[in-house]
Structure 1
Amino acid sequence: MTQIALLVIDVQESFRVRENWSAVNHPDIADRVDRLVHAARAKGDLVIWVLHTEPGTGGAFDPVNGHVRFIDGLEPLADEPVLRKTSHNAFTTTNLQQLLTQQGIRELVISGIRTEQCCETTTRVASDLGYDVVFVTEATATTPLPHWTLPADAPLADVLADPRTLFPETVVERTEYVLAGRFATIRTLDEVAPAVMAS
């Protein structure tokens, strides 16, 4: 029985239809995640897929609009769980913990969108629940983070022009700082994928 699971968090079309996707740090996120998926499958580890939904909002994460689906090129196998969440972390509104317990999984590998939001939050919760967590920053993606005083619908041009905006490289660095040694072990894509395939 496998004791490691790869979580693919929110690598969905919902993000690609938003204006700020043009400023994403890893536009090839699907390829990066797919590399981890193939490595996990080669080892026999479980791959768990997560989609973020916001029913009734009318936005990009509302399932009725058709964007709550994995980015083209990513395809779960028939026996790989697909969970739908409405919280930032992948535990609170899903049966993820029950699934992991049933499978005897004690270690999680984290990938997905966004680095500092759903990926980081899932990592923190997982660590507090007693899981060993590997955070593959290079297999996560994020966009510029506007200052909290900007309106939620501020145009991307305004976000990019604001000197208070945190750009992806800063967001990523801060995420690694707060996770490393406390909630997760930070690993590169090169470190994780070959290790999984060679085991």
Structure 2
Amino acid sequence: MFITTGLSHGDPTLSAWVDESVIVDGSRCPTGTYTLAAVVAKAAAVGTTRDVVRALTLTRGGRLHWVDESGKRRDRIAAAIAALELSVIVVAGSPVQRAKQERARRCCLERLLQELSSTGVREVCLESRTATPDRRDLSLVESARRKGLIPRGFRVGFARPRDEPMLWIPDAVAGAVTASRLGEPRWQLAMSEILTEHEVEVR
């Protein structure tokens, strides 16, 4: 299932879009960190939000990608996100070993789904990686349902950034959180009013 649009206009159900950022084997963050960022928005705000982030791109038909942006551009992007009608939930897990990134993702994703469910989110769109890791994510979703961490009606799907501008926002947020852990906190601080962060231990 692919979620590439918001819910119907006026539907009070919340949706979330999720992306990740990873630090492994870094001298400035020796334990490593796996960060999942979820942007939560109401259906009525999704269209305007897409327009705002599209307007931030440098070329028509292009996309925002945090790792490709300059410091000045990141300042502008972080400020624009902070002004949007949305909230952000971040789950950061450590330690992270290069060979065990999927374990870190599972720990973080399970906690993130639980947090999203508790805030009323019922639809989640993850950035699609490839078919095999997407299936692993769906397997974890089913496990979370069996554990009672999320309700039966909680839906999870996938989209690619080229098709869904809402995914550009968690990409930027996750990048800002990673930058903060590497010693540059200004972008995360710029979004602090809309951001809630949770720490998990990677088991």
Shorter-chain TM range is 0.3 to 0.5
With structure 1 as the length reference, what TM-score do the two structures score? 0.33
Give the structure with the higher percent helix.
2
Give the structure with the higher percent strand.
2
Where relative contact order (Cα < 8 A, 6+ residues apart) is larger, the structure is: 2
With structure 2 as the length reference, what TM-score do the two structures score? 0.32
